[in-house]
Amino acid sequence: MINMASFRWFLPFLLLALSPSTFLPLHAMPPPPPLHCNQTDCTLYNSYGVWGDRKDCRVRTTVYPTTEEELRLAVANATRAKLKVKVVTKFSHTIPKLACPSTAAAAPPGNSMLISTEKYDSRIVVDVPNLAVTADSGVGLRAVIDAVEEAGLSLVAAPYWEGVSVGGVISTGGHGSSWWGKGGAVHDHVIGLSLIVPAKESEGFAKIIRLEPKNPLFNAVKVSLGMLGVISQVCFLFVFNWVHQNGSI
């Protein structure tokens, strides 16, 4: 037990230890890029740095489209060459190995390719009258939230990590914790999306289809894990900020 004399001796050291000036500044850092390429091939890592089977994911090549047309051409070239393709995002925040187009652990197969949406992140269109925003699938969730907040809108639900892309967060079923309205799943607030799928040679080997809720494929495509095509654009339904501020949600 500490008596008063001992406490008076100990108090200055306690205050010094608790002083803000004694703490070092902390800086948050984003995850490293998931793709590492050399002159021969590329290796894909997940956010944990290792896959569940402890085997690397290696592919022959990776493309970085910047527009929807470039994304369509990437799918078309892969279709023409009969390549196995998967789409990865800027941070590849994933645990299972679904993002890997091949399970080969040795030399990467020549028929595999990755499409990265890291540089496909420039388009965000806010439609205030319709409470909607359309964004390229590679746009980060934080960028979307910032854009709609400037217009007086707010996203109903979102996951805790804002580094996810809009295409990735809906196709993997990312969610928040809201019970209001349609709930906390981000994909339940999607009102439209564009999907790039393989096509016939007469159609250029790939085509863009626009989907709305009335389309029977809409719900399947929203949470498709990238298995039904490449999501190129996503349209979300938002609410006015005052709805959040007044506690209506």
Q: Where is mean pLDDT largest: 39-53, 152-166, 213-227?
A: 213-227
Range in 138-142, 153-157, 179-183, 209-213 the model is least confident about: 179-183
Is the pLDDT reported for residue 46 higher than 70?
yes
The pTM score is 0.81
Determine the length of the chain.
Answer: 249
Task: Report d(CA 128, CA 122) in Å as an integer.
Answer: 19
The dihedral through the CA atoms of 63, 67, 70, 75 has a sign that is positive
Q: What's the pLDDT at 249?
A: 47
Residue 172 has pLDDT above 90, yes or no: no
When pLDDT is averaged across residues 70-80 and rounded to a whole number, the result is 96
- 237: tokens are 């339904």
Q: Which range among 81-90, 163-172, 240-249 shows the weakest confidence by mean pLDDT?
A: 240-249
Give the residue from 44, 241, 51 showing the smallest Cα distance to 146: 241
Helix residue spans in the chain (DSSP H): 4-18, 68-81, 141-150, 166-171, 218-222, 241-245
Report the mean per-residue pLDDT for the chain. Answer: 83
Q: CA angle 130-135-137, nearest 5°?
A: 140
User: Which range in 12-16, 77-81, 96-100 is most confidently predicted, on average pLDDT?
Assistant: 77-81
